[in-house]
């Protein structure tokens, strides 16, 4: 693909700080990085993924209402994270994080642990404790 052909299909990246680089051939036949604002096939793949995440979040919300899990699991999935990644960000063991998915264990967490989770999930402690 040539530099002038790099797609700029704004959909998910419009107004976002994050953009991606595609490599294209310039007039001299050399590859160079070109900032792209999106590409329809990537946007469609992202849409399918986000739909699946939203479906999973709805299931988790119902489990929270049934007192089967804690808001931590919801916020983890909503932020496209898994237990392993949250463990790396917080320094809290995977086993302990899974334990905090239980409503009773989550309700007993102190502000220090809640702050670690909230910081890693880029939300406030109050948002972490609640669900939409």
Mean pLDDT of the chain: 88
Does residue 19 have a pLDDT over 80?
no
Distance CA(108)–CA(103), nearest Å, equals 9
pLDDT band, residue 18 (cuts 50/70/90) = low
Domain co-membership, 66 together with 93: yes
Domain co-membership, 34 together with 46: no
In whole angstroms, how far apart are CA 89 and each of 6, 15, 92, 116? 35, 27, 8, 8
Q: What is the pLDDT of residue 90?
A: 97
Ordered DSSP codes for 8-46 = B--SSSTT-S--EEEEEE-TTS-EEEEEESB-HHHHHHH
Domain co-membership, 8 together with 50: no
Domain co-membership, 10 together with 74: no
Domain co-membership, 83 together with 63: yes
pLDDT band, residue 125 (cuts 50/70/90) = very high
Q: What is the CATH number of the domain that holds 118?
A: 1.10.260
Domain co-membership, 101 together with 56: yes
What is the tally of structural domains in the chain? 2
Residues of the domain holding 113: 42-129
* Phi and psi based region of residue 102 (left: phi greater than 0; alpha: psi -120 to 50; beta: remaining): beta
Domain co-membership, 60 together with 28: no
pLDDT band, residue 25 (cuts 50/70/90) = confident
Distance CA(70)–CA(61), nearest Å, equals 9
Domain co-membership, 23 together with 47: no
SS3 97: helix
Domain co-membership, 119 together with 55: yes
Domain co-membership, 95 together with 50: yes
pLDDT band, residue 61 (cuts 50/70/90) = very high
Domain co-membership, 55 together with 112: yes
Q: State phi, psi for 109 to the nearest 5 degrees.
A: -65, 140
Domain co-membership, 52 together with 68: yes
Distance CA(126)–CA(116), nearest Å, equals 13
Residue 47 tokens read as 């849409």
């Amino acid at each position: 693909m040539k530099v002038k052909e790099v797609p700029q299909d704004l959909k998910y990246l419009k107004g976002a700080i994050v953009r991606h680089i595609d490599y294209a051939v310039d007039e001299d036949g050399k590859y160079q990085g070109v900032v792209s604002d999106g590409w329809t096939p990537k946007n469609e793949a992202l849409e399918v993924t986000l739909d699946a995440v939203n479906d999973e979040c709805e299931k988790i919300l119902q489990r929270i209402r049934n007192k089967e899990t804690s808001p931590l699991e919801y916020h983890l999935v909503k932020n496209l994270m898994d237990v392993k990644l949250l463990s790396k960000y917080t320094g809290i063991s995977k086993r302990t994080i899974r334990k905090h998915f239980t409503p009773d264990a989550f309700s007993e967490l102190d502000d220090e642990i809640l702050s670690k989770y909230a910081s890693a999930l880029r939300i406030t402690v109050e948002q972490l404790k609640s669900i939409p």
